[in-house]
A and B are shown apart, each in its own frame.
Chain A
Amino acid sequence: MKRILDIALPLAVAAFLLGAWEGAVAHWQVPAYVLPAPSAIARAFADNFGSLMEALASTLTVTLEAFVAACVLGVATAIAFSHSRLLERTLYPYAVILQVTPVVAIAPLILIWVGFERINLALVIIATIVAFFPILAGATLGLKSADFNLIDLTRLYGASRLQTLWRIRLPNALPYLLSGMKTAGGLALIGAVVAEFVAGSGTATGLAWRIVESGNRLEIATLFAALALLALTGVVIFAALSLLEWCLLRRWHESALQAS
């Protein structure tokens, strides 16, 4: 019953809001270039289905590539940090600088360096920069917060550093890493969209470019359709990572136990 309510209640709210929106647009005769009715957006979505899906595929590819790159680089850097305090103290400030500098400000530079002829690589690099930090922060904290006594025990039994990493530190880091991945998944999408905006029309072909183009042409219904698709993509990424988290942690971690 509770499960059904969890799904039914948000859907009821959505239906009510869409109905009210449709009614308000019809009642006050709001021009379509200011606020199109949901039915008009649905029509625009159907009319542009092919091109919107192509744009989605393009944005999604950049997002996923950046996400995977951020995971690999973030975990590798965190492992290096956990093995060497010196390395961490030397390099962590630069990771922070990369994180706090707005990506919009770095993006033009990266586009120039990588070159517009390799636009996809540039987009992936920009999105990776945005998604990298939560992975690094989560994995570093997780690797370092392993039970000291358990680490001592592995020393007592003559474990190598690799064995300790594999058997104790990495499993211990998993909940922290997954939490970082949930944040990073959304950020990779944001990074991909920002990168497309900065790259501008004519080069990028993703959803962000569709939004810019539709805005320029005053095709507001198509703009809304692209926007909805983008929001939906973000939700799906988050849901997929939450599912992964639940699958990996459900047997043992408090967070997953409380959720189930």
Chain B
Amino acid sequence: MIALSGIAKRFPNGVQALNDLSFMVARGEFVSLLGPSGCGKSTALRLAAGLLTPDAGAVTYADGKPQIGFVFQDHTLMPWADALTNARLPLDLKRMPRDQADARASAALARVGLAGFEHAYPRELSGGMKMRVSIARALAAQPQLLLLDEPFAALDEITRNALGDDLLKLWREDGLTVLFVTHSVSESSYLSQRVLVMTPRPGHIAADIALASGRDSRLSPATIEAQRVISGALNSAIAA
């Protein structure tokens, strides 16, 4: 679906965020990009979305640029608009007729458990609900590739787990391709099929770990074992 090869990125302030970063994500895969804070995970994700251009290397898409859904760490909602208008933003920008766009945005809100909250303003919603609106907005665009930048980092553990389970469900139902940036070993071990471990800045891939099946719950032996393997790879990436 998407391949990054030999990516280098330096910011105007002189910080070399990425150097020789290469990885690919196949259609329908759920891949986590894991690394310590400041290793360039978010930069890699923005490059994947085409929001940044690399200094060297290339981002290529298998069948032309797919429809991309992007979820930020903050909910990034428009505070002046209700949940429905927020979820409808990608469709409004594409000038989809209002009734059609409303129907699709409502359906997206219902899928993330927010039926009945269409006309609530962001300030009236909890942190978890705001993040759900943000995910609904990404879904409304009917993406093939869903990019998430530590979307649950600011949430409490109960909400985080519930949203993680919902994300898995959406991924299975829609056949999405997901690239999920996180700094949580437990999150990546449970949610993804494959974990890409990044080194500290300038970031590149230190380990590419395919996870075994059988991780049906957060506490199943296969998940715990996956955590052990990922933690080991992360520690050696940081130490190297």
Contact = CB atoms under 8 A, between A and B. Distances in A.
Q: Are A and B interaction partners?
A: yes
Interface of A: 147, 149-150, 152-159, 163, 167-168, 171-172, 174, 251-253, 257
Interface in B94-145: 94, 121-123, 141
Contact of B78 (A150, A156, A158, A257): A150
A154 B78 CA distance: 12
A242 to B, nearest CB: 19
B72 A157 contact: no
A251 B121 contact: yes
Given A167-B89, A252-B79, A152 B51 contact: yes
Q: Which 6 A-B pairs have the closest CB atoms?
A: A157-B90, A157-B93, A159-B93, A149-B76, A171-B80, A149-B72
B49 interface: yes
Given A150-B76, A168-B78, A252-B123, A156 B94 contact: no
Contacts of B90: 157
A147 B77 CA distance: 9
Contacts of A257: 123
A156 B48 CA distance: 11
A147 B70 contact: no
Nearest to B46: A152
A73 B136 CA distance: 39
Determine the main DSSP class of A at the interface with B.
Answer: helix
Contact of A252 (B49, B93, B121): B121
Contacts of B49: 156
B51 A155 contact: yes
Contact of A157 (B79, B80, B122, B141): B141
A157 B121 CA distance: 22
A149 B78 contact: no
Contacts of B74: 147, 149
A252 B122 contact: yes
Interface in B45-84: 46, 49-51, 68, 70, 72, 74, 76, 78-81
Determine the main DSSP class of B at the interface with A.
Answer: loop
A174 to B, nearest CB: 7
A163 B80 CA distance: 16
B59 to A, nearest CB: 14
Nearest to B67: A157
A255 to B, nearest CB: 12
Nearest to A146: B78
B92 interface: yes
A168 B70 CA distance: 17
B51 A157 contact: no
Nearest to A163: B93
Contacts of A167: 78, 89, 92-93
6 contacts: A149-B76, A157-B93, A167-B89, A168-B78, A172-B80, A252-B123
Given A147-B74, A156-B50, A167-B89, 12 more contacts: A147-B76, A149-B72, A152-B46, A153-B76, A154-B93, A155-B51, A156-B68, A157-B89, A158-B93, A252-B79, A252-B81, A252-B122
Contacts of B79: 252-253
A36 to B, nearest CB: 50
Contacts of A153: 70, 72, 76, 89
Contact of B70 (A156, A159, A251): A156
Contacts of B76: 147, 149-150, 153
Contacts of A155: 51
A202 B123 CA distance: 56
Contacts of A252: 79-81, 121-123
A53 to B, nearest CB: 40
A177 to B, nearest CB: 13
Contacts of B78: 150, 167-168, 171
B132 to A, nearest CB: 16
A251 B194 CA distance: 44
Contacts of A149: 72, 74, 76
Contacts of B89: 153-154, 157, 167
Nearest to A152: B51
A159 B91 CA distance: 10
A157 B86 CA distance: 14
Contacts of B94: 157-158
